[in-house]
Structure 1
Amino acid sequence: MDPCVELLFGRGTKKVRLPEFVTPTVIRKPKMPVRYDCEKAVRSALSADGSSGNASSGGSANRVSLVEVAKNANSACLAICDITRPVPNHLFLRPAIEILLDAGIDHKAITVLVATGLHRPNEGEELRELVGDDWVFDHVRVVNHFATSDDDHLDLGITPTRRVPVKIDRRFVQADLRIATGLVEPHFMAGYSGGRKVVAPGLAHADTIRTFHNHAFMSDPAAANCNLDGNPLHEEQLEIIRMIGGAYAINTVIDEERNLSFINFGEITTSHREAVKFVQRYCRAPVPHEFEIVVTSGAGYPLDQTYYQSVKGMVGAIDILKLGGDLFIVSECAEGLGSDAYRRAQQQLVSLGEEAFLQVLQRQRKADIDQWQSQMQTKASSKARIHLLSTLPRESFPLTGVNMYDDVNEFERSIASAALGKQHIAVIPEGPYVIPYVSDATE
């Protein structure tokens, strides 16, 4: 057996040599169906011809057509995920906008709104890469959401159960036709990405985001990968959708090679649920036992461009890690740690230590910006020793709070050292896009 494994890293892969005395268990999705006739799949989904544009069999019993819902609209806003998600916008944005134009909506009344949440804006060539089709820029307005701009948001009140202030980008709320677009994949807080998550936190004000990313939300056991049942973020997101008056969604699923596997369109909650039902058959990977060593990735470009996003790869693997084990992760981090706010949060975590840091968070009704990612890191670091191979500058190493490497040979020697006396290593090449769990063989 080849002792090298290839892990997603930046725009390519990173080869990592494993010790020859261990038996690696490589954890991947099952082979997914692929739509090579992408144009037909997209048109089929948007026109609701009964096939949903999917590579799988079956479909929704609640079919709806963008062609029909656009007829009664005078304006439209399409929310798209920011550059951190490999959403195939180039496949569906133009067909969707053409339908809106054909329905009589003026091009000046159609907005493509980048759902940045509290991430940085996407501009210039990066924005063109994100949209993936210059035709879109030539025909409609493409703009970023800014979560700290008070004037850009409408205050819709407070959610009834957990008292979250609901402030959402007015360009989305006030549009006659509201469409969230995105990728449905595991998410380490909200269960699954896409759908309602594109609206909140994607288009939410900082007050909204900071409230439902506070310690109480983040520490809830139900706020976990691949779980929607009782998930407090998911439940608040659904309530926010109700408060804005509903929306529609274009949901996509891609395989490990970033090929289109599924696309649908419909009411945001039901269509997202259908996409989740599809993807969970592939992204949840059963294994027979826990491992003392797991080797994983930050999922490659665009997700692994910051240390902030790399935390998802750490958390994604913890359910199969034995307590006190070692987690080895590769993540390029070409843009560095992340935002200045995140740098401050990491400084706080490292200087206070995990226990004191979490005690500070417990006293805050609103989390400081990006503090929640530092809290999520503690879910992994409290269970295992974390080792990261990246291109981060050495001066940033202390702020990560983990064992850092910029040399693959040193990284490999650490894996070999940790593996002494052990036989099994788990390897997750795609990182947080695959969520392994220990399964009873009788399930």
Structure 2
Amino acid sequence: MKDDKYKDVLLKYGKETVSVKLDKEMCNVLYPEDLPGVYDPQKEVIDSIENPIGSPSLKDMAKGKRDVVILASDITRPSPSNIMVPPIVDELNKAGIPDESIKVVFGLGYHRKQTEEEKKKLVGEDILKRVRCIDHDINDCVYVGTTKRGTPVEVFREVYDADFVIATGNLELHYKAGYSGGYKALLPGVCSKNTIEKNHILMFSNGAMPGKIDGNPMREDIEEGGKLAGVDFIVNAVLNSHKEIVKVVAGDPVRAHREGAKYIDKMYKRVISEKADIVIASCGGYPKDINLYQAQKGLDNAAYSVKDGGTIILVAECIEGLGEKLFSDWMVNASCPDEPLKWIKEEFRLGAHKAAVICEVLKRAEIYLVSSLDRDFTEKIFFKYAKTVQDALDEALKKHEDGAKILVIPYANSTLPYVE
């Protein structure tokens, strides 16, 4: 006879799935509320640039320009540049700007340089042949001013020299800057290491959190820096959890961005009635859980839904281990979670900042890590070890009283729970 008291919930883990059996009365499963993908994505891009938000049309704005830069995301981001960039180039041609006056600059932030094959994958072979496509150079930047929060804005020379800048990208929740997209393609996208570090320090300030713009010091600093450097027009895609385009917004870097953020909120901001005693969070599988550095995003979102002193079960394969060298060094060499928090205040270092963010959560909650990492290593970096999600849940239930509330977040990297 079927037991109706329990249900099995499937969670993505690497390229596979794992299951956990849950008491129906004790648990709630929180999924994104996906909007459908548009029928014709390229037409959606064309419509957006012909009917921009808060600005004249791209064709009218670009007339007479001699050196146009299109900012595009690098290979680590899911931005559909291959769909967005060709119509933008075509529209610039209609404004009288030839291909040789247009260049695509990939914003690397602090990431590695890309191969030609990766560039082709991002924008397509036709664009790669038609216009110059280059990586941003973190060591060749020009100072344009300082924000009121003290961030010196140093921008890649090729962007600085342009007389018209279009920023593209995908809009999604960002664990500290509120949202991606908008001016973020410029800062940190095509800035110096000095600029990126100074801006990223603000992630430890009050108000730096996902889904928040007003009163978010990190986002406000990005937008002030973007205005100093100059972005004339944006084209941002909103994607559902299947990476389908549901909306493209274009036009003014602030007004169009805010309109796009409304679609993100509809899909990924999810109301819960109360915080849970136990939160089971899957990052959403590969590549979101390829290493702990990426899986941190899911942990951070899960932290908004757990009670102080509660338990988070992070489901992340981490087939490539911790992922980033400095992050790994800080996690491995710390003797307790307090140390990375102390070190980051003494000297902010990119990469290592995520060790401090994880340790902030470790101070609030007990965290099980269900991964490919062995027990000794898992415990060395301050997580509790469990071979399976079910093992972790069974152990967590021993700690919490009868009737413990359990929340499951199958796509934690992109789902933000909040209590109204």
Which of 174, 180, 183 aligns to 2:161? It is 174
Evaluate the alpha carbon distance shift between residue 171 and residue 204 of structure 1 in structure 2; reply closer, same or farther with a 3 A threshold: same
Which of 21, 27, 31 aligns to 2:30? It is 27
Which of 386, 393, 396 aligns to 1:418? It is 396
State whether structure 2 residue 191 is matched by structure 1 residue 204.
yes
Which of 363, 370, 384 aligns to 1:382? It is 363
Q: Which residue of 2 aligns with 1:155?
A: 143
For 1:278-357, list aligned pairs within 5 A. 278-348=263-333, 350-351=334-335, 353-357=336-340
Inter-partner Cα distance in structure 1 for 2:200 and 2:45: 34
Which of 3, 25, 34 aligns to 2:7? It is 3
Evaluate the alpha carbon distance shift between residue 357 and residue 110 of structure 1 in structure 2; reply closer, same or farther with a 3 A threshold: same
Inter-partner Cα distance in structure 2 for 1:33 and 1:279: 13
- Quote the offset at 1:248 in angstroms: 1.6
Evaluate the alpha carbon distance shift between residue 284 and residue 102 of structure 1 in structure 2; reply closer, same or farther with a 3 A threshold: same
- Quote the offset at 1:8 in angstroms: 4.0
Inter-partner Cα distance in structure 2 for 1:395 and 1:46: 54
Inter-partner Cα distance in structure 2 for 1:392 and 1:69: 53
Inter-partner Cα distance in structure 1 for 2:184 and 2:383: 29
Evaluate the alpha carbon distance shift between residue 65 and residue 21 of structure 1 in structure 2; reply closer, same or farther with a 3 A threshold: closer
- Quote the offset at 1:394 in angstroms: 7.6
- Quote the offset at 1:122 in angstroms: 3.0
Inter-partner Cα distance in structure 2 for 1:386 and 1:392: 14
State whether structure 2 residue 351 is matched by structure 1 residue 370.
yes
- Quote the offset at 1:21 in angstroms: 6.9
Gaps of 5+ in 2: none
Give the letter aligned to residue 8 of structure 2: C
Inter-partner Cα distance in structure 2 for 1:394 and 1:72: 63
Evaluate the alpha carbon distance shift between residue 404 and residue 99 of structure 1 in structure 2; reply closer, same or farther with a 3 A threshold: farther
- RMSD over aligned Cα, in angstroms? 2.4
Inter-partner Cα distance in structure 1 for 2:13 and 2:121: 19
Give the letter aligned to residue 44 of structure 1: D
Between the two proteins, the alignment pairs up a number of residues equal to 413
Q: Which residue of 1 aligns with 2:410?
A: 429
CA contact (8 A) 2:313 2:367 kept: yes
Question: Alignment identity in percent?
Answer: 28
Evaluate the alpha carbon distance shift between residue 294 and residue 185 of structure 1 in structure 2; reply closer, same or farther with a 3 A threshold: same
- Quote the offset at 1:237 in angstroms: 0.9
Evaluate the alpha carbon distance shift between residue 63 and residue 157 of structure 1 in structure 2; reply closer, same or farther with a 3 A threshold: closer
Q: Which residue of 1 aligns with 2:128?
A: 137
- Quote the offset at 1:109 in angstroms: 2.9
Inter-partner Cα distance in structure 2 for 1:9 and 1:183: 24
SS in 1 for 2:211: coil
Worse overlay, 273-282 or 15-24 = 15-24
Deviations 1:133-164 (A, max 9, x none): 222212122222242x2xx21112322x2211
SS in 2 for 1:382: helix
Gaps of 5+ in 1: 53-59
- Quote the offset at 1:396 in angstroms: 5.9
Q: Which residue of 2 aligns with 1:57?
A: none
Worse overlay, 386-395 or 178-187 = 386-395
Inter-partner Cα distance in structure 2 for 1:5 and 1:170: 51
CA contact (8 A) 1:190 1:233 kept: yes
Deviations 1:389-437 (A, max 9, x none): 33457886466432355x5xx3321122213434532111111311001
SS in 1 for 2:200: coil
Deviations 1:314-358 (A, max 9, x none): 11111210112111122343443223222223234x33x222332
Inter-partner Cα distance in structure 2 for 1:388 and 1:306: 12
Give the letter aligned to residue 365 of structure 2: A
Worse overlay, 258-267 or 113-122 = 113-122
SS in 1 for 2:113: coil
CA contact (8 A) 2:49 2:250 kept: yes
Give the letter aligned to residue 130 of structure 1: L
CA contact (8 A) 1:343 1:399 kept: no
Worse overlay, 226-235 or 94-103 = 94-103
Q: Which residue of 2 aligns with 1:106?
A: 98
CA contact (8 A) 1:85 1:303 kept: no
Evaluate the alpha carbon distance shift between residue 5 and residue 205 of structure 1 in structure 2; reply closer, same or farther with a 3 A threshold: same
State whether structure 2 residue 214 is matched by structure 1 residue 223.
no
Evaluate the alpha carbon distance shift between residue 35 and residue 433 of structure 1 in structure 2; reply closer, same or farther with a 3 A threshold: same
CA contact (8 A) 1:156 1:166 kept: yes
Give the letter aligned to residue 175 of structure 1: A
- Quote the offset at 1:77 in angstroms: 1.5
- Quote the offset at 1:189 in angstroms: 0.8
SS in 2 for 1:272: helix
SS in 1 for 2:279: strand
Q: Which residue of 2 aligns with 1:116?
A: 108
What TM-score results when the alignment is normalised by the length of structure 1?
Answer: 0.86
Evaluate the alpha carbon distance shift between residue 336 and residue 123 of structure 1 in structure 2; reply closer, same or farther with a 3 A threshold: farther
